Amino acid sequence: TCTGTIKNVVVNANAGSFVKGNSSVGGIAGQLQPSATGGELTFENCSSNIDVTAQQFYAGGIIGALKVGASVSDCHSGASATISAFNNNANSAYIMYSRAGGIVGDGNAVKDNSANIFYCTSAATVQTYLSHGNQYQRAGGIIGSTFYTDVVGCYSTATVKANAKGYAQAGGIVGYVEVGAVTSNISKATIMTNTVVEGFSQSYNQSHVNGGIVGHAGHGNISPAAIIKNNLSMATQIIG
């Protein structure tokens, strides 16, 4: 089990700088996972303005993916950063879905040991794209998708774009919440689905949902249900 805090890391990138990979790509770290069974590992007071691209799955301005017992607090993703997750390969052998967030791409933990995002801010451009298939594309100003991951006290002025031939979900704070709490957040984001994403010319008109705080929340028989409360949306524009 790994326990500790990583803090005060700053990535102040020159124009044109980028980080690129296939899965779990972040401006500072790809994946934060104390251990398979738990522990507590925290990123604190870190910031990045570098462009991040995941060519398959998870892209985050700070961390690509959060796992069991991992936390990110008081971190910031700058306005000059573009965070992109896409799958544009029709012959890909992988599941065709992508998650992108201004701070974290995807949060996936367990009921008794959640992942957490506290008091983070994002002004980045966040975008997902899928040109084929029917899998879900999820983009959020703070995090793309959550499963037993709590998002508390965050602030987003991000520009959030999700486009897919199948399903696109975009939110000013979270693109999709399956299980977890989204509380006391503020969004002044611009949220767009069914829009042309940078680098891709085609826009689709399929099953797209968006929201000032959360794009889409919860399904199935998982307990406890998603908790979304005490948030404030002052989204400048919602297009879908």
Tens digits of per-residue pLDDT, 8-64?
999 998 888 999 998 899 999 999 876 665 567 889 999 999 999 998 889 999 999
Tokens of 189: 């984001």
- Mapping DSSP to helix (H, G, I), strand (E, B) and coil, where does residue 183 land? strand
Residue owning tokens 């594309």: 137
pLDDT at 150: 95
pLDDT at 46: 96
pLDDT at 200: 45
pLDDT at 166: 66
Tell me the C-alpha to C-alpha distance, in Å, between residue 132 and each of 20, 88, 175, 195: 21, 7, 20, 15
Burial class (CB in 10 A: 0-12, 13-18, 19+), 147: buried
pLDDT at 56: 80
Of 64, 67, 63, the C-alpha closest to 36 is 67
